[in-house]
Chains A and B, each alone.
Chain A
Amino acid sequence: MSTTTINTQKVNFNVFRFNADEDYLPYYENYSMDVTSEEVVLDILNRIKWDHDGSFSYRRSCRHGICGTCAIKVNGRVTLACKESMTDMIEVFGNELTIEPLSKKRAIKDLIIDKADFWEKHEQVTPYLDTEIDETPTAENIVTPAQAETLDEADLCIQCGACHYACPVVEISDEFMGPAAFAAAYRFEADIRDGNESRLTDVNKMGSGVWDCVKCFECADACPKEINPIEKIGKLHNMLFQSGKAESNIATRHAVGFERSIKRNGVLDEGSLVLYSELAGIVKHVPVALKMFSKGKIVPPWGIIKSDNLDEIQKLVKSSSTAKF
């Protein structure tokens, strides 16, 4: 029989408190508690409520990592309170922990936030199978295991919002749809049964669409279901180019520009890439470019040192291309 030792440690919790009906500004309440190694973050929230302050508010329901309601931030890290072990938290951050809602600016009462923006954006991507249904089918509509696999686990999303409120672009731009909405868009675009004609081009539109993602991978680290939303964003880009639906704009030209440059030089020609992406928009870069030039930071196209064995690279670009523009 194996025995598990339960360790106890003292931990200081700084807990975000705010009541939108009464408080002008949020404040932090300090609770010092003995924490055992088998507790999860939700146990701590419960103990604060039961032992210290019955008005302390937070969301939880399933306690099994399924309902997605209990996501909060601990020392800036998004986490499902019911899944996250206190031992891990202490190991990463030490014995001073700050507990906050997913989004401070959206706080209503303590850790409870108004998640309306999350749901509005979710709705914008037509997050359901959009197809003509034959009401009197004569055969089963079979999805093969291989076809189901192309969803790449995007269907496991529990809408917890962890990725959404971890995303720095969501934080500063009200228009950006955010990683969860894009993962949902991918989930239905990748579904063989879906027939929606405009979803792919809608999410790929310039300005607040997938192209505004800064590729920080915060959403990949945030997701408790390991859905890796940024990877799905990449796939939405790929689908656009594979379907031949890509319009020419600064974002698509920027992506395609890499292939053009690699074909020509093996390496990137940074100046030409910006020029090709921006076209006439290049003028706004001129002041910085002049400064950079004077500091030896811009190499003209004729000064680019091409890769050795460039012919190999060119051959591969020819034989391995899968996209159109």
Chain B
Amino acid sequence: MGKLKYALFTGCTAKQSTPEQMMSTMAVAEKLDIELVELTEASCCGASHLQDYDDFLSLVLNARNIAYAEKHELTMVTICNTCQLNTAMTKHRLDNSADLKARVNEKLGEIGLEYKGTSKITHFLYAIIDDFGLDKLKEMVVTPLSQFNIAPFYGCHNIRPSELQNETHDTPENSYNPTSLDDLIIACGGMTVDYEEKNKCCGFHAELQAPKVSAILTGNAIAGAMDGNADWIVTPCPLCHLKLDTQTGHASEAIGREVSLPVLHMQQMIGLALGCPPETLGMKHHITKVDFV
């Protein structure tokens, strides 16, 4: 296998509210000898909210981001479930409608770009599983996480809609019984916690409009992991991370029970197993203290 190289779409969160995710992504990529070319021209994916306001504009902007990955002739790798959904969905829609693609390209033409459909779009989690390989990762583990019960929290937009996940990635995931993140935990030497909420919603996208509903979902997720005897939660999505890590106060109030667990980004978990120094993984940027490193 040659050196893996991707066009990195960081998304907005990694550059603002989850700096630890950016740090740990770079630390892990270096350890795994994966080259990431950052798409500094990219705009926000719209987070499915711009899509509510102006669907066509969101397609044009996402197609522009993909066009930059195509210019590098690289697969685009995302590190946020919602970026993955909106970017892969754009690709899906444009690749399946010549008319829509032409309308979008007419706009991109104004700035001298074209969406061709030549770049794949994958989330870092699936890049590691599909391209790098968990067996190889396992061989590189220097600090197996064997003393930890780790609760996987998948995050909706990596696994649903299933049709999109299945067409985008080599490893098809069943949204009712996903396995990718469990497999990653096992490869890092940890023990996985099976709990009902692992493939459920954290409530992030309605936090402002429906705070109560959103907080109950967050509370239920953390409570489920706690009842499963988890030492901590791991997630591939920075938005789930924000919700589970920073909103424990509202969540506890909403479900009438104190809930709180350390929440790690998938990259931080891999980093710990690969022996990255904790300070390169940004643990100090968490709200819920990561007390075991």
Nearest Cβ distance between residue A314 and chain B, in whole angstroms?
Answer: 10
B205 touches A307 (CB 8 A): no
Which A residue sits closest to B282, measured CB to CB? A296
Choose the segment among B41-49, B143-151, B182-190 that binds chain A (4+ C-beta atoms closer than 8 Å): B41-49
State whether A258 and B208 are in contact (beta carbons under 8 Å apart), knowing that A169-B213, A216-B200 are contacts in the complex.
no
A259 touches B57 (CB 8 A): yes
B174 touches A323 (CB 8 A): no
For chain A, give the interface size range: 35 or more
Q: Is B227 an interface residue (CB 8 A)?
A: no
Nearest Cβ distance between residue A97 and chain B, in whole angstroms?
Answer: 12
A312 touches B16 (CB 8 A): no
Nearest Cβ distance between residue B65 and chain A, in whole angstroms?
Answer: 9
Q: Is A304 an interface residue (CB 8 A)?
A: yes
Nearest Cβ distance between residue A222 and chain B, in whole angstroms?
Answer: 10
Which A residue sits closest to B43, measured CB to CB? A266
Residues in A neighbouring B53, C-beta threshold 8 A: 237-238, 241, 255-256, 258-259, 323, 325
Nearest Cβ distance between residue A252 and chain B, in whole angstroms?
Answer: 8
B213 touches A215 (CB 8 A): no
Q: In whole angstroms, how far apart are the Cα atoms of A213 and B209 in the complex?
A: 9
Q: Is A262 an interface residue (CB 8 A)?
A: yes
Which A residue sits closest to B56, measured CB to CB? A322
Interface flags, B191-209, vs A, CB<8A=1, else 0:
0000010001101111011
Choose the segment among A63-71, A126-134, A284-292 that binds chain B (4+ C-beta atoms closer than 8 Å): A284-292
Interface flags, B85-125, vs A, CB<8A=1, else 0:
00000000000000000000001101101000000000000
B12 touches A220 (CB 8 A): no
A172 touches B287 (CB 8 A): no
For chain B, give the interface size range: 35 or more
The 8 closest A-B pairs by CB, nearest first: A217-B160, A216-B201, A237-B52, A258-B50, A268-B12, A255-B53, A212-B210, A323-B54
Q: Is B280 an interface residue (CB 8 A)?
A: no
Q: Which residues of A contact B (CB under 8 A)?
A: 75-77, 92-93, 168-169, 172-173, 176, 206-207, 211-218, 220-221, 228, 234-235, 237-238, 241, 250-251, 254-259, 261-262, 266-268, 270, 274, 277-278, 287-288, 291-292, 295-299, 304-305, 307-309, 312-313, 315-317, 319-323, 325
B41 touches A221 (CB 8 A): no
- Within 8 Å by CB of A92, from B177, B206, B250, lies B177
Starting from the known contacts A211-B210, A316-B111, 5 additional A-B residue pairs (CB-CB under 8 Å) come to A92-B177, A173-B212, A235-B55, A254-B49, A267-B15
Residues in B neighbouring A297, C-beta threshold 8 A: 16-19, 246, 285, 287
- Within 8 Å by CB of B156, from A76, A176, A216, A325, lies A216
Residues in A neighbouring B64, C-beta threshold 8 A: 312-313, 316
Q: In whole angstroms, how far apart are the Cα atoms of A281 and B49 in the complex?
A: 20
Nearest Cβ distance between residue B45 and chain A, in whole angstroms?
Answer: 9
Q: In whole angstroms, how far apart are the Cα atoms of A293 and B247 in the complex?
A: 14
Q: In whole angstroms, how far apart are the Cα atoms of A169 and B201 in the complex?
A: 10
11 pairs, CB–CB < 8 Å, chain A vs chain B: A173-B212, A173-B213, A212-B213, A241-B54, A256-B53, A266-B41, A267-B44, A295-B287, A298-B17, A307-B42, A307-B43
Q: In whole angstroms, how far apart are the Cα atoms of A110 and B196 in the complex?
A: 22
Residues in B neighbouring A250, C-beta threshold 8 A: 208-209
Q: In whole angstroms, how far apart are the Cα atoms of A297 and B238 in the complex?
A: 12
Residues in B neighbouring A319, C-beta threshold 8 A: 107, 110
Q: In whole angstroms, how far apart are the Cα atoms of A267 and B110 in the complex?
A: 21
Q: Is B286 an interface residue (CB 8 A)?
A: yes
State whether A258 and B107 are in contact (beta carbons under 8 Å apart), knowing that A168-B200, A295-B284, A308-B41 are contacts in the complex.
no
